[in-house]
Amino acid sequence: MKVHVLTIGDEILIGQIIDTNSSWIAQRLNLIGMKVSQMKSISDELSDIKSQLQLSLNAVDVVIITGGLGPTKDDITKKALAEFLNVPLVLHEETLQSLFRFFTKIGRDPNTMDLAQQAQVPENTVVLPNKMGTAPGMWLNTGLGKVIISLPGVPYEMEYLMENEVIPKLQTTFPSEIIIHKTLLIAGIPETTLSQRLETFENELPHFIKLAYLPALSQIRLRLSCSGDNKQLLEGLILEKTNQLHNILGQLVAGEDEDTLPVVIGRILKKNNYQLACAESCTGGFLSHIITLVPGSSQYFKGAIVSYANEIKEKSLGVNPVTIEKYGAVSEETVIEMLHGLLAHTNADIGVAISGVAGPDGGTLEKPVGTIWVALGSKEKHQTFLVKAGKNREKNIQYAAYVSLNYLRLFLLN
Considering only residues 312 to 331 of the shown chain, the ones binding its own copies according to CB under 8 A are 312, 315-316
Q: Specify whether the CB–CB gap between 67 and 9 falls below 8 A.
A: yes
How far is the C-alpha of 150 from the C-alpha of 70, rounded, in Å? 12
Contacting residue, 18, 144, 322, 365, with its own copies by CB under 8 A: 18
Work out how close the CB of 90 gets to its own copies at its nearest, in angstroms, rounded to a whole number. 21
End-to-end CA gap in the chain: 46
CA nearest to 42, candidates 72, 65, 70: 65
CA nearest to 129, candidates 92, 91, 97, 161: 161
309 binds its own copies per the rule CB under 8 A: yes
How far is the C-alpha of 224 from the C-alpha of 212, rounded, in Å? 7
90 binds its own copies per the rule CB under 8 A: no
Work out how close the CB of 138 gets to its own copies at its nearest, in angstroms, rounded to a whole number. 19
301 binds its own copies per the rule CB under 8 A: yes
Work out how close the CB of 349 gets to its own copies at its nearest, in angstroms, rounded to a whole number. 13
Contacting residue, 146, 189, 259, 284, with its own copies by CB under 8 A: 284
49 binds its own copies per the rule CB under 8 A: no
95 binds its own copies per the rule CB under 8 A: no
Work out how close the CB of 141 gets to its own copies at its nearest, in angstroms, rounded to a whole number. 25
Facing residues of 138 across strands?
A: 127, 150
Contacting residue, 32, 37, 50, 378, with its own copies by CB under 8 A: 37
Work out how close the CB of 143 gets to its own copies at its nearest, in angstroms, rounded to a whole number. 24
Q: Which is nearer to its own copies, 90 or 179 (CB)?
A: 179
Which residues in 52-81 contact its own copies (CB under 8 A)? Answer: 52, 55, 70-75
Which residues in 195-254 contact its own copies (CB under 8 A)? Answer: 195-196, 202, 210-215, 221, 223, 225
Q: Specify whether the CB–CB gap between 328 and 337 falls below 8 A.
A: no
Burial of residue 185, with CB atoms counted within 10 A of its CB: 0-12 exposed, 13-18 middle, 19 or more buried: buried
344 binds its own copies per the rule CB under 8 A: no
Q: Specify whether the CB–CB gap between 352 and 276 falls below 8 A.
A: yes
Q: Which residues contact 156 (CB under 8 A, 6 or more apart)?
A: 132
Q: Which is nearer to its own copies, 58 or 86 (CB)?
A: 58
x/- site string to its own copies, residues 142 to 161, per CB under 8 A? Answer: ------------x-x-----
Work out how close the CB of 24 gets to its own copies at its nearest, in angstroms, rounded to a whole number. 7
Segment contacting its own copies by CB under 8 A, of 77-85, 112-120, 228-236, 242-250: 112-120
46 binds its own copies per the rule CB under 8 A: no
Work out how close the CB of 294 gets to its own copies at its nearest, in angstroms, rounded to a whole number. 9
23 binds its own copies per the rule CB under 8 A: yes
